[in-house]
Amino acid sequence: MGKVIVGHISEFPERSGRVFRMGSLELALFKLSDGTVKAIENRCPHKHGKLSEGIVCDHHVYCPLHDWKIDLHDGIVQAPDQGCVNAYRVEVDGDGEVILFLEDGLEAKVS
């Protein structure tokens, strides 16, 4: 598994999405109000809405198309809706660098 530094924690606005691309994979990263950063696929499993454009409340993001509620910890869609998106491990090191953990062979591109 590879690690990629995707920026400094100060570059991430609180409760707003930031988009990162890795090959054909597009991720949405969110800084939560507690300072943690979460990463999930940037597409709702329902109609593929851009989750990076959704509203963040606590540790959930609401899809901007049809208001599906997705848990940022594990990518699971909350009932009564069903589905999930992949969630990725993110850490903030002691210097404030945001590190995204990727599968081998994926190359990150910041947009």
CATH code, domain with 26: 2.102.10.10
Residue 110 has pLDDT above 50, yes or no: no
Cα dihedral value 89, 91, 97, 101, nearest 10:
-30
Residue 108 has pLDDT above 80, yes or no: no
pLDDT tens per residue across span 3-51? 889 999 999 988 888 999 878 889 999 999 998 999 999 999 998 899 9
The whole-angstrom separation of Cα 85 and Cα 14 is 21
User: In this prediction, what percent of the chain has a pLDDT beyond 70?
Assistant: 91
- Dihedral-angle region of residue 99 (phi above 0 means left; psi in -120 to 50 means alpha; beta otherwise): beta
pTM summary value: 0.86
Confidence of residue 105 (pLDDT cuts 50, 70, 90): very low
CA distances from 104 to 1, 2, 23, 42, 109 (A): 5, 6, 12, 20, 15
- What is the tally of structural domains in the chain? 1
| 12 residue type, one letter | F
Residue 84: closest CA among 39, 26, 43, 32: 43
Residue 102 has pLDDT above 50, yes or no: yes
Show the domain range for 53: 2-110
The whole-angstrom separation of Cα 89 and Cα 72 is 11
Residue 80 has pLDDT above 80, yes or no: yes
